[in-house]
Amino acid sequence: MTAVYVARQRQNTTIISYNNTIWAKTIAWPECWSAPFWTVTVDSAGELLNISPELSLCGPNSFVTRFNPHMKSVRAITPPRGSLLIIAGLSLFTLSLLIGIVAAPNIGVASDENRQTLVGSQGGGPGLHAAGSVYLIDNNSVAWQTADTSSYFDVTHQSDGTVLAAFMQSDQTDCGPYTSPCARTGFRIIEDTDADANTQQSAVETIHSFPVRTRANSEVHDVEPLGDGRYLFTDMDAERIAIYQNSSIQWQWNASEYYTAPDNPTRTDWLHINDVDVISPGRYLVSVRNANQLVVIEKNNGITEVINADFPGDTEGDPSLLRQQHNPQWIDNETILVADSHNDRIIELRKQSNGDWRVGWELTSAEGIAFRWPRDADRLQNGNTLITDSLNKRIVEVNRTGETVWSYQTSQVPYEADRLPAGERVGAVAYTEADTDLSPSSSERIPIISFLLTIIQTGVQTPYWFSEIHVIVGLVSLGLCGTGTVRFVRWQLQRWYQFIHTFAGI
- Per residue, what are the HEC states of 8-74? EEECCEEEEEECCEEEEEEEECCCCCECCEEEEEECCCCCEEEEEECCECCCCCCEEEEECCCCCCE
Q: Are residues 205 and 329 in the same domain?
A: yes
Residue 414 forms part of a structural domain: yes
| Per-residue pLDDT, 311 | 63
Q: Are residues 134 and 197 in the same domain?
A: yes
pLDDT 10s digits, 212-234: 988 788 899 999 999 999 999 99
- Alpha-carbon 278 to chain mean position: 31
Report the candidate in 30, 116, 18, 13 with the shortest Cα–Cα distance to residue 65.
13
Residue 84 forms part of a structural domain: no
How far apart are alpha carbons 337 and 322 in whole angstroms? 12
Q: Are residues 70 and 130 in the same domain?
A: no
Q: Are residues 115 and 53 in the same domain?
A: no
Cα distances (angstroms) measured from residue 100 to each of 93, 97, 128, 464, 468? 11, 5, 24, 10, 11
**Which of 36, 56, 76 finishes a domain?**
76
13 forms bridges with which residues in the sheet?
A: 10, 27
pLDDT 10s digits, 449-482: 877 887 787 777 788 788 888 899 999 999 999 9
Cα distances (angstroms) measured from residue 386 to each of 324, 340, 408, 434? 19, 14, 11, 20
Task: To the nearest 10°, report the CA torsion of 148, 122, 223, 221.
Answer: -130
Is 13 a residue whose pLDDT tops 60? no
What integer is the mean pLDDT of 123-151?
A: 89
Range name among 199-203, 244-248, 374-378 with the lowest pLDDT average: 199-203
Compute the half-sphere exposure of residue 245: CA atoms within 13 Å on the CB side of its CA. 13
Burial (CB count within 10 angstroms: exposed 0-12, middle 13-18, buried 19+), residue 226: middle
Helix (H) or strand (E) holding 187: strand 182-190
| Per-residue pLDDT, 73 | 40
Helical axes 82-103 vs 468-503, angle rounded to 10° = 160
Quick check: 237 and 221 in contact, CB under 8 A? Answer: no
Residue 172 forms part of a structural domain: yes
Residue 309 forms part of a structural domain: no
Range name among 185-199, 248-262, 290-304, 315-329 with the lowest pLDDT average: 185-199
Quick check: 197 and 145 in contact, CB under 8 A? Answer: yes
Is 239 a residue whose pLDDT tops 90? yes
Find the domain containing 68 and state its range.
2-76
| Per-residue pLDDT, 191 | 86
pLDDT 10s digits, 73-123: 434 444 456 788 888 889 999 999 898 888 888 777 766 678 999 999 999
How far apart are alpha carbons 464 and 392 in whole angstroms? 4
How far apart are alpha carbons 440 and 448 in whole angstroms? 22
Instruction: Pick left, alpha or beta for residue 128 (phi over 0 → left; psi -120 to 50 → alpha; otherwise beta).
Output: left
Give the amino acid at 338.
V
How far apart are alpha carbons 464 and 320 in whole angstroms? 24
- Is 195 in a helix, a strand, or coil? coil
Query: What's 103-117 look like in SS3?
Result: HCCCCCCCCCCCCEE
pLDDT 10s digits, 406-421: 999 999 999 999 999 8
Q: Are residues 166 and 207 in the same domain?
A: yes
Report the candidate in 319, 365, 358 with the shortest Cα–Cα distance to residue 342.
319
Is 440 a residue whose pLDDT tops 80? no
What integer is the mean pLDDT of 116-140?
A: 90
**Which of 27, 55, 76 finishes a domain?**
76
Q: Are residues 436 and 379 in the same domain?
A: yes
- Is 94 in a helix, a strand, or coil? helix
Q: Are residues 239 and 340 in the same domain?
A: yes
What integer is the mean pLDDT of 432-446?
A: 55
Provide the 10 A C-beta neighbour count for residue 301.
Answer: 10
Q: What is the CATH number of the domain that holds 448?
A: 2.120.10
Residue 195 forms part of a structural domain: yes
Is 125 a residue whose pLDDT tops 70? yes
Is 198 a residue whose pLDDT tops 80? no
pLDDT 10s digits, 302-311: 999 999 987 6
| Per-residue pLDDT, 47 | 55
In the structure, what pLDDT confidence band is assigned to residue 42 with cuts at 50, 70 and 90?
low
| Per-residue pLDDT, 60 | 38
- Cβ-count burial 174-183 (b if 16+ within 10 Å, e if not): eeeebeeebb
Q: Are residues 324 and 407 in the same domain?
A: yes
Q: Are residues 133 and 240 in the same domain?
A: yes
How far apart are alpha carbons 97 and 114 in whole angstroms? 36
Residue 89 forms part of a structural domain: no
Residue 404 forms part of a structural domain: yes
Q: Are residues 145 and 247 in the same domain?
A: yes
Burial (CB count within 10 angstroms: exposed 0-12, middle 13-18, buried 19+), residue 159: exposed
| Per-residue pLDDT, 25 | 47
Query: What's the start-to-end Cα distance of the chain, in Å?
Result: 24
| Per-residue pLDDT, 436 | 55
Give the amino acid at 501.
H
| Per-residue pLDDT, 19 | 47
**Which of 33, 60, 76 finishes a domain?**
76
Q: Are residues 331 and 211 in the same domain?
A: yes
Residue 23 forms part of a structural domain: yes
Q: Are residues 246 and 333 in the same domain?
A: yes
Helix (H) or strand (E) holding 162: none
Give how many domains the chain has, as a whole number: 2
What integer is the mean pLDDT of 174-186?
A: 91
Compute the half-sphere exposure of residue 35: CA atoms within 13 Å on the CB side of its CA. 14
Report the candidate in 132, 222, 213 with the shortest Cα–Cα distance to residue 172.
213
pLDDT 10s digits, 49-62: 555 554 443 433 33
**Mean pLDDT over each residue of the chain, to the nearest integer:** 81
